[in-house]
Amino acid sequence: MFELSIQKAFRRHDRKMEEISEDENGKLFGGFSNFPKSVAAENAPPMEPFERSDYPIFKTSRFNSFIPFEEKILGYNSYTKRFLVMDPVLLDLLNAAVLEEDLEGLYDLHPTFFAELVKHDFIIKKEVDELQKVIDLRESVDFDDTSYHMTINPTMNCNFKCWYCYESHIKGSKMDQPTMEKIRKHIDKAIEDNPNLKHFHISWFGGEPMLYYDNVVEPIVSYGMQQTKARGIKFSSNFTTNGYLVRERMIPFFKENNINAFQITLDGNKEKHNTVRYTASKKGSYDKIIENIKLLVKNEIITSVRINYTKETLEKIEELITEFSDLTEEDRSYISFSFHNVWQDGDPNREKLEQVVTNFRRHDFNTNSLYSTFNTVRDSCYADQKNHVTINYDGEVFKCTARDFNKDDREGVMHDDGKIVWNEKFEQRMDSKFKNNPCFSCRIQPICNGGCSQQALEHVGEDYCVVDGDEREKDNIILSQFKQILEHQIIRRAKLVRQLNKNMY
């Protein structure tokens, strides 16, 4: 069903493509289309003509991929993130021009196709340094001084004991008043040291951060909002939580202080979830968490429901569609579902997962999975970014939250005046990119670049690849993102049909 729907959506696009033809002057036209249609590209100024007598000035981008798809060729440039659907004969022409070192000849033969390739950087000027473009892109993101991001762990304790959790739960761990005062002073320091600051964000993590909502979270959020508002800086905050301790009395504070996003985890349908996530008394948590998710979205707070699945869980996961069927169309704009394979379970069962994801989308739920949002350069991990700090409950300073918070791994010290003095581990992290040889010849470097800084640090002195050098897996990353575009078209089409039927009756 999944592949059939994708095929139908693509064929609707295919039928709109102009067939490849030849005019009276022997020049070709048609046979391709950008995908999805780009207003910016269509309105781009025409390419300046060049003289054939000039020396060759063009080359193909090393970030190009060309993948067979439904009897067409899917072209993708990982720097521009643009797709180009083309007749296979056009790829043959491009390959011949490359082989003969005569890209300008392709311009003579099919000028509109050549211009399209240039618009989306499939063909670039020879003097362009593509590696430098990725370096510049990375620096514009990871060294951006207009935003500051703090991650705070009020505790490393938790009210659940999920079997796969990597965190070391520490009973009795709680952030004390002296550490909270240091954090307040650090907020002041971060604002003072970043004159270009426009946005200050606090993420709450742990452990379970809601355990100390009243005594830790509210006082720090209130202070952060107060200090940033006085200086015209936008403040926001979010939670990564199991969702069990959210209460309706908290909603007004969330609204007043721009606590605008939650990530809450479910482990499948009610039966499966309650075998994994329960309180110390073995009481199931499913019903309360579902109730709290609905409370948040109905109050216009963005909620990402992270579904940790196993092969067993996946079989009944679509029961959640019924569970949330009472949400209105407006409510559904504030909820999304993100599917993550429990790594201890092995194979992520891609085919079944794609079917599940498509079914969620057909019921108007925003979802993502696998590689559909794979983009670790433009959307880099918070730990990759210079203006980010993770502060543990005991005041220890880290970056990455996906590893244990051992003292030996700390990356800095927060002094009593709120100033953080970073150590050599922080410097190594910020200098860890562009050290991995396989990335320098990889066609998807602009969307991957070896993954996050933690991965780079854990592979110092060795060559590695996040997909183990598997070219087919790189194709899967690209195809997943392309199929997501088609799926969104399916959803929009279904909504339109439903609306038309509703108007008729």
What is the DSSP code (8-state) at residue 250?
Answer: G
Residues 1 and 356: their CA atoms lie apart, in Å, by: 11
What is the DSSP code (8-state) at residue 278?
Answer: B
Length of the chain: 505
- pLDDT tens track for 323-371: 999 999 899 999 999 988 876 555 667 778 878 888 888 888 888 765 6
What type of residue sits at position 445? Q
Q: Are strands 58-60 and 366-369 parallel, antiparallel or unpaired?
A: unpaired
- Tell me what pLDDT residue 11 has: 81
What is the DSSP code (8-state) at residue 19?
Answer: P
Query: Among candidates 199, 196, 183, which has minimal Cα distance to 148?
Result: 199
In DSSP terms, 317 is beta-bridged to none
| Mean pLDDT to the nearest integer, 151-174 | 70
- Tell me what pLDDT residue 49 has: 65
- Tell me what pLDDT residue 233 has: 98
- Tell me what pLDDT residue 316 has: 85
- Tell me what pLDDT residue 2 has: 56
For the chain, the average pLDDT equals 88
Taking the CA atoms of 441, 447, 449 and 451 in sequence, report the sign of the dihedral they define.
negative
- Tell me what pLDDT residue 163 has: 47
Q: Count of H helices and E strands in the chain? A: 18, 19
- pLDDT tens track for 168-198: 566 668 999 999 999 999 999 999 999 999 9
Question: Of 47-61, 84-98, 225-239, 406-420, where does mean pLDDT reach its minimum?
Answer: 47-61
3-state secondary structure at position 65: strand
- Tell me what pLDDT residue 353 has: 82
Retrieve residue 201's tokens: 């964000």
Q: Is pLDDT of 491 > 80?
A: no
| Mean pLDDT to the nearest integer, 225-253 | 96
Most confident listed range (41-50, 107-116, 219-228): 219-228
Residues 358 and 152: their CA atoms lie apart, in Å, by: 35
Question: 10 Å Cβ neighbour count for 194?
Answer: 16
Instruction: Using the CB atoms, write b or e for 306-329: b if 16+ within 10 Å.
Output: ebbbbeebbbebeebbebbeebee
Question: Of 106-120, 369-383, 442-456, where does mean pLDDT reach its minimum?
Answer: 369-383
What is the DSSP code (8-state) at residue 295?
Answer: H
- pLDDT tens track for 58-88: 999 999 999 999 999 999 999 999 999 999 9
Q: Are strands 147-152 and 123-125 parallel, antiparallel or unpaired?
A: unpaired
More confident call, 495 vs 126: 126
| Mean pLDDT to the nearest integer, 11-36 | 84
3-state secondary structure at position 439: helix
CA 303 to chain centre: 15
- Tell me what pLDDT residue 39 has: 47
- Tell me what pLDDT residue 161 has: 63
Residues 131 and 135: their CA atoms lie apart, in Å, by: 6
CA 457 to chain centre: 21
Residue 331, CB half-sphere, CA atoms under 13 Å: how many? 13
Distances in Å between the alpha carbon of 306 and those of 84, 240, 241, 293, 361? 32, 10, 10, 12, 15
- pLDDT tens track for 116-144: 999 899 999 999 999 999 999 999 999 99
- Tell me what pLDDT residue 366 has: 87
Instruction: Using the CB atoms, write b or e for 418-456: b if 16+ within 10 Å.
Output: bebebeebbeebbebbeebeebeebbbbbbbbbbbbbeb
CA 502 to chain centre: 35
| Mean pLDDT to the nearest integer, 46-60 | 71
Query: Among candidates 264, 354, 258, 271, which has minimal Cα distance to 308?
Result: 264
Q: Is pLDDT of 152 > 90?
A: yes
- Tell me what pLDDT residue 313 has: 81
Please say whether the beta carbons of 19 and 30 come within 8 A: yes
* Reported confidence tier of residue 489, pLDDT bands at 50, 70, 90: confident
Q: What's the pTM value of the predicted model, to 2 decimals?
A: 0.87
Q: Is pLDDT of 373 > 90?
A: no
- Tell me what pLDDT residue 356 has: 86
**C-alpha dihedral (84, 473, 353, 307), degrees to nearest 10:** -110
- Tell me what pLDDT residue 24 has: 85
Residues 30 and 26: their CA atoms lie apart, in Å, by: 13
- Tell me what pLDDT residue 184 has: 98
| Mean pLDDT to the nearest integer, 99-113 | 91
